[in-house]
Amino acid sequence: MRILIYGINYAPELTGIGKYTGEMGAWLAQQVHEVSVITAKPYYPEWQVHQPYKGKWWYTEEMEGVKVHRCPLYVTNPTSAAKRILHEFSFVLSSLIFWLPFFFGRRLDVVIGVCPPFHLGFLPFLYSKLRGVPYICHTQDLQVDAAKNLGMIKNKRFLDLMFRAEHFILHHAKAVSTISTGMQKKIEKKGIASFRILLFPNWVDVQAIRPLSKEESLRRELSIADDHKVVLYSGNLGEKQGLDLLIEAARHFPDPQVCFLIVGSGGGKARLEEMVEQYGLTNVRFLPLQPYEKLSALLATADLHLVLQKKKAADLVMPSKLTSILAAGGCALVTALPETTLYETIQKYNLGILIEPESVEALKEGLAYALESDLKTYRRNARLYAQEFLEKEHIMKAFEKEILHLSLSEEVKETATANLDWQ
């Protein structure tokens, strides 16, 4: 098949949507599909264009058998909704340079649009209508719902306009895929028939990410003793996580043998560093994102992992960091509300410790319980769950089967139409 993936984030970004889209493209290319990608220069989660890509404009590179078309875009730390909107639309406009040859060139078999941003769906929709090609809208986040619920956009008229645009894109996609059953239900409530909604969860390579001993971890590199307790948060330091609570909770664990390790980048990092300095905390350390080949060692450094989200982000986003934690056999302290996918999954399979979101007291109590408990059962369950439900090959093969089916059904329909026209 000839496949085009369109999304603002792609490899070599190490976290979030870019990580999964990059792995998707590489896997499909390994199956001898002809895969092209239109994407931006890598910038996430630092919100700065990565050093090797600075000073470049429109250009094409090959990564793991994928032809990757890179576009310039406006990048700044999106401290306001206006800056975020400008950032996203700058990519849509700059990507037109690479879209034009696809519109007039050899026909694709399928187009996959990765959202957010949700309005990236307009160009794939237009291509699908003009060239008779199925368009799959892969929804990693329900961006408009999250923007409304988190108070990022408060103008009602503008929100209504965004919801109408989202409605148009979702209803005109051949299929809508998403990463959790909770998000499937929310998309169905937007009027999308259930048979058009595909479950395409985020995955993990259980061979690459695996449990390691403390001796194989980064403890020696970071000068952390084996008998010290390490609480790890690794990932995006952004608005959805509510990480201020972590710093507040760390104030109540002054024991020098308890270390809070925060690994990552994002718009909220400066604020967290200011809080640590303001409180004079010596038990909190910050590290940059670690390369993928060191991920298992990083995860093995922790006695306890944190998966934190705000209440209003419930089932609108599914924390991607959880897949790696589970594959590494880690125990996670998870903030989640009952009746959300995250809560029900953790509870059903006994994968970690659940606490109320946005509560310093709940976080303190959860930390105290976890640091004094034997977590072996959670760790064993986590690894088994990852092997059974999150294995990369199984998930990607199921998705490949779906897009093959959509592509073939479109070809059959086109052939039938042509035959009727001839008769």
303/281 Cα distance (integer angstroms): 20
- Is 379 within 8 Å of 330 (Cβ atoms)? yes
Per-residue pLDDT at 211 exceeds 90: yes
Q: Which alpha helices (H) appear in 190-335, and where do they start and end?
A: 244-250, 269-279, 295-300, 321-327
Q: What is the DSSP code (8-state) at residue 42? A: P
Where do you find CATH 3.40.50.2000 in the chain? 2-203+391-422, 214-388
CB contact at 8 A, 381 and 327? no
For residue 334, which of 313, 342, 360, 32 has the smallest C-alpha distance? 342
pLDDT of residue 295: 94
How far is it, in rounded angstroms, from Cα 267 to Cα 269? Answer: 6
Q: What tens digit of pLDDT does each residue of 314-356 get?
A: 655 557 789 999 999 999 999 999 988 889 999 999 999 999 9
pLDDT of 65-80, one tens digit each?
999 999 999 998 766 7
- Provide the pLDDT confidence category of residue 268 given band limits of 50, 70 and 90: confident
Backbone angles phi, psi at 295, to 5 degrees: -65, -45
Instruction: Pick one of 3.40.50.2000, 3.40.50.300, 3.20.20.70, 3.40.710.10 as the CATH number of 214-388.
Output: 3.40.50.2000
The per-residue b/e assignment along 4-14, b for 16 or more CB within 10 angstroms, e otherwise, is: bbbbbbbbebb
Average pLDDT on 120-129 reads 95
Residue 420 neighbours by CB under 8 Å, 6+ apart: none
Return the pLDDT at 282: 93
Is the predicted pLDDT of residue 422 greater than 50, yes or no? no
The Cα 398–Cα 31 span in angstroms is 13
**Sheet arrangement for strand 284-287:** 284-287, 258-263, 229-234, 304-307, 332-335, 352-355
pLDDT per residue as tens digits for the range 384-413:
999 999 999 999 999 999 999 988 866 545
Helix axes of 392-422 and 16-30: crossing angle, nearest 10 degrees:
70
Percent of the chain topping pLDDT 90 = 73
pLDDT, position 256: 86
Give 4-44 pLDDT, tens digit per residue.
999 999 999 988 899 999 999 999 999 999 999 999 999 99
- The pLDDT of residue 102 is 96
* Predicted local distance difference test score (pLDDT) of residue 78: 64
Q: How many of the other CB atoms lie within 10 Å of CB of 348?
A: 9
Give all strands (DSSP E) within 14-155, no chain letters: 34-40, 59-63, 66-71, 110-115, 135-139
What confidence score (pLDDT) does residue 155 get? 81
For residues 410-422, average pLDDT = 47
- What integer pLDDT is reported at residue 112 of this predicted model? 98
Residues 139 and 177: beta-carbon distance below 8 Å: yes
Cα(353)–Cα(347) distance, rounded to whole angstroms? 8
Asked if the model's pLDDT at residue 176 lies above 80, the reply is yes
Answer yes or no: is pLDDT of 418 > 60. Answer: no
Least confident range from 240-249, 268-277, 292-301, 350-359: namely 240-249
* Tokens representing residue 309 in the block: 């989200």
- Can you give the pLDDT at residue 265? 83
Residue 312 has pLDDT above 50, yes or no: yes
Are 363 and 244 contacting, i.e. CB atoms less than 8 angstroms apart? no
CATH fold for domain 2-203+391-422 = Rossmann fold (3.40.50)
> What is the Cα–Cα distance from 309 to 355, expressed in whole angstroms?
11
Whole-angstrom Cα distance, residue 405 to residue 111? 14
Distance CA 62, CA 26 (A): 10
